[in-house]
Amino acid sequence: MKTLDLASLPQTHGRTSPWADRLGALMDRWMTSDALYRWSVSNPLTRWVTRRRARQVFDLMAGFVYSQVLLACVRLRILEAVAERPRSLDELAQWTHLPPAGLQRLLQSALALGLLNLRSQGRYGLGPLGAPVAGHAGIRAMIEHHAVLYQDMQDPVAMLQGPGQAGAMAQYWPYTLDEDAQAAQAAQAAQAQAQAQAEKYARYSNLMSASQPFVVDEILASYRFDDHQVVLDVGGGQGTFMSRLALHAKHLQVKLFDLPEVAALARANFARQGLESRSEAHPGSFLKDTLPQGADLVTLIRVAHDHPDADVRTVLAAIYEALPPGGTLLLSEPMAQEQGETPQGDAYFHFYLLAMGAGRLRTPRELMAMMAEAGFSHLEIVPNPMPLQTQILIGRKCQGLPLKPDSFVNNN
Ligand SMILES: C[S@@+](CC[C@H](N)C(=O)[O-])C[C@H]1O[C@@H](n2cnc3c(N)ncnc32)[C@H](O)[C@@H]1O
């Protein structure tokens, strides 16, 4: 496993003082007192606050069960079945080959979570939260993939104790293992089943392709590609984004750089889409090899967060090197909330990346500092419609050139 980096401390902007600390300590004592709880639930004016907080704590405790209900619905393809038409318990028992008494517990739980809802004659239909899951194979692939994370998280405290044996998630993402572990794995694979290693790369690349359309939608809705000629996607997977971009902006040449096993998948994908004349897939490692030249825009999508700081610095420097003066870097990935912002799934991503064994969630400010260190200027956050999916940062290799003012679509 690679070393895990520490996050930089949030800036508090003078919001803490000895007085604030004393007040905080007083509030802590007050909020944890039984007397306050009893008073608050008996008072009609404050009861709703206490109820809401109790519900939130209950949800924190029950969250793992909720995830398992969702996983079971996906594995049993219940949401797809009821999306076709509402179904009775008996029909669903036939569909899932489960005894009705057990299945009913799952269906009632899914009802409570809004995955299903109740239709006429006691049949189950698609609920408001079940609809996006039934409608998107990418969401279902992600939910199924999380079984790997749950396996590692059975003992979260043991997981925090530090890199020992690489867990199931670290094995799933072969490039997060350190070089010795990768070499050992490769040697094993060579002896036992040469196929197995390639299959690992194909498996995660398929998962990335299935989940990437949401991210691509965010980028296409937020950034104009009109002024660019050649785009290079670093760590571009099997080329889902580059193919979509090439079809979206017909004037563009697209290039992709990824590990050899994955670049081969991208080349085949470009060929399937009839994009051979407008695309290139380059094999290599951005930690060791020079990136292909000639692109005036480089994209780095969902790559930095699963790499340690030192590797992110290496790839950003390589991108800066590969760009011509005036070139642009577009970096997009889930980012940590800045101090005082509404949480966007941070708790989830911190543990997912811990289970991967490499990388960390960074705030936009931290990423921009790393981009600036690599030489990029005119750093900006590009507002996008659904920041939970991804956030977008832009930097330029400007060297005194003025910034083009109208590249962003206004999503504020
Ligand atoms: C989380 S995936 C994201 C893929 C794609 N950008 C997306 O958003 O779907 C990270 C990608 O970085 C690639 N990658 C990881 N380490 C790499 C390295 N050292 N050199 C080149 N590519 C690498 C992986 O093969 C994978 O395709």
Please give the model's pTM, rounded to 2 decimal places.
0.81
**Chain-centre distance for alpha carbon 127:** 25
pLDDT number for residue 345: 80
CA of 94 to the centre of ligand 1 (A): 41
272/212 Cα distance (integer angstroms): 18
pLDDT at 405 over 50: no
**Maximal C-alpha separation, the chain:** 74
Q: The tokens of 145 are what?
A: 């993939």
pLDDT tens-digit map of 112-135:
999 999 999 999 999 999 999 999
- pLDDT per residue as tens digits for the range 342-389: 667 888 888 898 888 888 999 999 999 999 999 999 999 999 998 888
Place of tokens 């870097």: 329
Q: To the nearest whole percent, how much of the chain has pLDDT over 70? A: 89
- Taking CA atoms only, the protein residue closest to ligand 1 atom 14 is 235
Cα–Cα distance measured from residue 173 to residue 354, given in angstroms and rounded to the nearest whole number: 12
* Alpha carbon nearest to ligand 1 atom 10, residue: 303
pLDDT at residue 237 is higher than 70: yes
CA 68 to chain centre: 19
**285 CA from centroid of ligand 1 (Å):** 9
- Residue range 174-221, pLDDT digits in tens: 887 777 666 666 666 666 666 787 888 999 999 999 989 989 999 999
Among the listed residues 362, 405, 355, 401, the one whose alpha carbon sits nearest the alpha carbon of residue 380: 405
> Is the model more confident about 189 or about 154?
154
- Is the CB of residue 81 less than 8 Å from the CB of residue 114? no
Nearest CA to ligand 1 atom 12: 235
Does residue 288 surpass a pLDDT of 70?
yes
Choose which residue among 169, 175, 315 to substitute to test ligand 1 binding: the one with the highest number of ligand atoms within 8 A of its C-beta: 175
Which pLDDT score, from 0 to 100, does residue 164 have?
A: 57
**Residue 403 clears pLDDT 80, i.e. is over it:** no
What pLDDT sits at residue 3? 66
The Å distance, Cα 401 to ligand 1 centre, comes to 31
Domain ranges of the chain: 22-135, 200-396
3-state secondary structure of 381: strand
- Kindly list the protein residues whose Cβ atom lies closer than 6 A to any atom of ligand 1: 175, 205, 208, 212, 215, 235-237, 258-259, 262, 285-287, 301-303, 306
Fold (topology level) of 200-396: Rossmann fold (3.40.50)
User: Phi, psi (5° rounding) for residue 99?
Assistant: -65, 135
Q: Is pLDDT above 50 for 312?
A: yes
Statement: 22-135 belongs to CATH 3.40.50.970: no
